[in-house]
Structure 1
Amino acid sequence: MSALAASVAPGRYYDAALKTEAIKLLPADYAVSDEPLALVTLLGSCVAACVYDPLLGVGGMNHFMLPDTGGASRFADGSARYGAHAMELLINDLLKRGARRARLQAKAFGGGNVLRGMQDPIGSRNARFVVDYLAAERIPLLAQDLGDIHPRKIAFFPQTGRALVRRLPATRRHELVDIERAYRERLSRTPSAGSVELF
């Protein structure tokens, strides 16, 4: 039986570079699995938290755009685009599948300040949020690649907790900036949890 859950059905494909089945996560997605596959996402100012139970061999990844709802109702539209809700969805799904909170471990990636000219850049806020959240929940953060200005491609293997990070070249940065600006603009206009692929 497949142990996969996601807020929306992410794209499943064969990743030739990783030589494995993979699931692509977009903003506001999360997935949990105990299968021998990779969870893959592209990040600019967004953050992906990878949380897993190494004994049970189950783990998951989320991809959130904003740390919180900015004072709105608890999770506004219930979207996993907000860090607090994305983390709760991910951890609760792991616990439902038999993971033990005391065994959970985490790795966190992203939070690049790819949008220039912001006083308190969203990437920095996302990075601070995930570190603070994991500390408050007493989930050890074993590895991280947060902040700076680089977009990143992440591959996480939920059975083992192995994570691969590739910082993308600056030539991809302008494209990511445009996509993130468009995504942020759409979020401000509508409460729906859209999905934009970051390339």
Structure 2
Amino acid sequence: MQVNFDASPEANLYFDRYFNCNAVKILPGEFYATSNDHLIVTVLGSCIATCLFDPANNVRGMNHFLLPRDDTEKSILISESARYGTYAMELLINEMLKLGAKKNQIVAKVFGGGNVMKGLIHNNIGQRNVDFAFEYLKKESIPVVASDVLSDYPRKVYFFEEDGLVRIKKIKALHNTTILDRESEYRVRLKNATIDNPVDLF
């Protein structure tokens, strides 16, 4: 099965009544880049969301990804697992460049990686996702200007147009299993996936 990181579909566009603005919600395995005033929203457990912003050209983007394999799966090289995070990052950056962003002006904010999925706490999947995000951004010379990672709670992330502002709502009590179910399904989907067409940055 080929891995599928999708630009967030129009079906995820909605009007956020609390913030009184148009918004787009991205789910695990999706990304969204824009030069308009849409609020970008996602909910994270063990997954990572990287919010990228070029303030000079007013281009923003967010992805929502998970490394599909943990350290206990000895038959799989960790470098192979990291390809999925790399792919998610490159897709987002390329989409932003198409909208007029300049790579040397992009800054990053990183969120997520919480230990919220049963059975994965001892595998450090959240920590591995966080480590990957910071290592990738360092390698690409994209400075991380803010972050809120790890701990043991899910987060709702709101990425605004104004100066790349991000607000985080920490979800201390889960009233249903939707967040965990989405990430578990996403992880299973990635487990046997392949990347047939890797993306190169330009």
The TM-score with structure 2 as length reference comes to 0.79
Identity %: 40
The root-mean-square deviation of aligned C-alpha atoms, in Å, is: 2.8
The counterpart of 1:110, out of the listed 112, 123, 126, is 112
- Structure 1: 5+ residue runs without aligned partners? 1-5, 193-199
Alignment of 1:45-64 (within 5 A): 45-64=46-65
Aligned to 1:26: 27
Q: Is the 8 A contact 2:34 2:61 kept in 1?
A: yes
Moved more, 58-67 or 28-37: 58-67
CA deviations on 1:83-142 (whole Å, 9 max, x unpaired) are: 111100111111222211111111011111112443332111111111111111111100
Query: How far apart in 2 are the matches of 1:15 and 1:181?
Result: 27
Q: What amino acid is the match of 1:13? A: Y
Aligned to 1:9: 9
The TM-score with structure 1 as length reference comes to 0.80
CA deviations on 1:166-188 (whole Å, 9 max, x unpaired) are: 00123348553344334323433
CA deviations on 1:57-83 (whole Å, 9 max, x unpaired) are: 11100010217895499799x9xxx31
The counterpart of 2:89, out of the listed 80, 87, 90, is 87
CA deviations on 1:132-159 (whole Å, 9 max, x unpaired) are: 1111111110000011111000011246
Query: How far apart in 1 are the matches of 2:194 and 2:80?
Result: 13
The counterpart of 1:122, out of the listed 121, 125, 144, is 125
Q: Is the 8 A contact 1:59 1:159 kept in 2?
A: no
Query: How far apart in 1 are the matches of 2:123 and 2:81?
Result: 22
Higher helix share: 2
- Structure 2: 5+ residue runs without aligned partners? 1-5, 71-75, 196-202
Count of aligned pairs: 183
Query: How far apart in 1 are the matches of 2:97 and 2:81?
Result: 21
